[in-house]
Structure 1
């Protein structure tokens, strides 16, 4: 009779364990569904209205694509000397200009002495310590862009170039 009691308790325990497992699985599915639903609702709430999307698409369709990029290297390299802690240091810099209009190339070639002079004066006026940092190099790049655009604006009534790119930067 003791054997019969043990046999009846095992099926009850097994069915109770199965019920807990099924309940946990259902609970996990409900939690996952609520999570997905909440995420979708949040995305829909945070998304811009459809009217603005269609306006932005219409504006981008009306604007012509930009002209292809034209890269023009300034040759020869620009050299600058620096006095740093009682020693002579120098910078060798290769610059490439990015533009989108062919006529700007002719203007750059015509006014190359003025452009090189402006760049030499600008670069040689920098502090050697600042040029050793990434921030200093980026500031110099921006200043070179502004200087060339200023000179071209004065000569051809448009800035002409879009970017100044340092293709080689040797600082010793």
Structure 2
């Protein structure tokens, strides 16, 4: 019996060596896998940086700047032989503050043109969303045309803050 106990002891050492060897090989494989992944990703990142630096950069986001016109546009519009009343509070949107400063500088001229444009619009057009969008586009074209004539930068949009027709 004593001989059997001594014979079993070396077998346990052999199993322990096998377990340690498998664990070391597994850890080595994991380490090499992680190192290889970092090596490949490092090369891809470097080439992506080189490619992006050679291409023209996209323009940076510029927030819009707004200017409210404090006094509303008030005028009468024609509606089937009757005169109706329209009142619109406006704001201008631009990407450049210089455009709003130019619009402020020439505000009497702009308001006159916008009042004339609003007065020549039909009442039925002002009652539909499509008509209001069209009016906004016409106003934008009129304002930008005047700003261009005066040598000022253009604005981006004409916005309605309050729109009343009756």
The two structures have a TM-score, normalised by structure 2, of 0.63
CA distance in 1, matches of 2:84, 2:134: 20
CA distance in 2, matches of 1:60, 1:100: 25
CA distance in 1, matches of 2:127, 2:89: 16
Matched pairs, number: 116
Long gaps (5+) in structure 1: 1-53
Among candidates 95, 104, 107, match of residue 100 of structure 1: 95
The two structures have a TM-score, normalised by structure 1, of 0.61
Structure with larger Rg: 2
User: What is the RMSD computed on CA atoms of the aligned residues?
Assistant: 2.3
User: Does 2:162 correspond to 1:164?
Assistant: no
- Contact kept? 2:147, 2:153, Cα under 8 Å: yes
Alpha-carbon shift at residue 60 of structure 1 (Å): 9.0
With over 3 angstroms needed to count, the CA separation of the structure-2 counterparts of 1:153 and 1:66, relative to structure 1, is farther
User: Does 2:157 correspond to 1:141?
Assistant: no
Long gaps (5+) in structure 2: 1-47
With over 3 angstroms needed to count, the CA separation of the structure-2 counterparts of 1:154 and 1:87, relative to structure 1, is same
- Contact kept? 2:99, 2:152, Cα under 8 Å: no
Per the alignment, residue 91 of structure 1 pairs with 86
CA distance in 2, matches of 1:157, 1:109: 11
Per the alignment, residue 77 of structure 1 pairs with 72
